Amino acid sequence: MEPKFCKLDKILAPFDKKIERKLKDIKNLFMDEEKAEELDQGMIIYEVYEMENFDINCALTLLYPGKVGKEYFMTKGHYHEKEEGEIYFCLSGEGILLMRDREGKIKDIKLEKGVVAYVPPEHAHRVVNTGNEILSFLAFYSRYAGHDYKSIEKEGFGAVVIEEEGKPVIKRGDLK
Ligand code: M6P
Ligand code: ZN
């Protein structure tokens, strides 16, 4: 097995996989789906550059600033298929890391440059960009963890982050 490396410039390069999520791919995540329909469906909400390794993957996510109505742009969010945690390292921007345990309890960590956050196993995780610039962060996770998006699609996340009086507010409850 050869050691390998990527360099972090604007992207993690060379990368093994790039994922681009456009509004049309995730519009059903937002509370105001009608509003989402009115916006440019080809707009990129976030990009992920992944370095795949033997056991631990590393991914850089660039989450663009913006809102659908009052709700900030965010990632899809997922549980892991295996009981594995994940480490986030925020490089730039401002945001919130939302976590949801299997009982639906919501926890959150504010993200800004330099924050290192641990997502425990059995916690769904989603990142929300609450600032005016790109929110960029690295994530480190087991290659075998797997992404379970279905549970969130079925149950909803149980919290949304919206702008109220110019500030981000987390609304908990039986929301999307
Ligand atoms: C981080 C990691 C990746 C994930 C990405 C985007 O980089 O958690 O595993 O793919 O964020 O999040 P999502 O897959 O929920 O859209
Ligand atoms: Zn994950």
| pLDDT value at 136 more than 90 | yes
Q: State how far the Cα of 125 lies from the Cα of 77, in Å rounded to an integer.
A: 5
What pLDDT, on a 0 to 100 scale, did the predictor assign at position 173? 79
Give 122 Cα–ligand 1 centroid separation in angstroms.
Answer: 15
- Token duo for residue 35: 């509003």
Q: How far is Cα 62 from Cα 13, in angstroms, rounded to an integer? A: 14
pLDDT at res. 175: 62
- Token pair of 170, please? 């987390």
CA distances in angstroms from 132 to 70, 76, 128, 166, listed in the order given = 14, 20, 12, 11
Residue nearest atom 11 of ligand 1, based on CA coordinates: 61
pLDDT tens for 157-171 read 999 999 999 999 999
| Residue of the CA atom closest to atom 15 of ligand 1 | 77
Q: What would the pLDDT profile of 49-103 be if each residue is shown by its tens digit?
A: 999 999 999 999 999 999 999 999 999 999 999 999 999 999 999 999 999 999 9
Separation of CA 105 and ligand 2 centre (Å): 17
- Name the residue among 67, 81, 63 with its Cα closest to residue 30: 67
pLDDT of residue 61: 98
Measuring CA to CA, how many Å separate 164 from each of 33, 129, 131, 139? 19, 15, 13, 29
From the list 66, 69, 76, the residue with the least C-alpha distance to 132 is 66
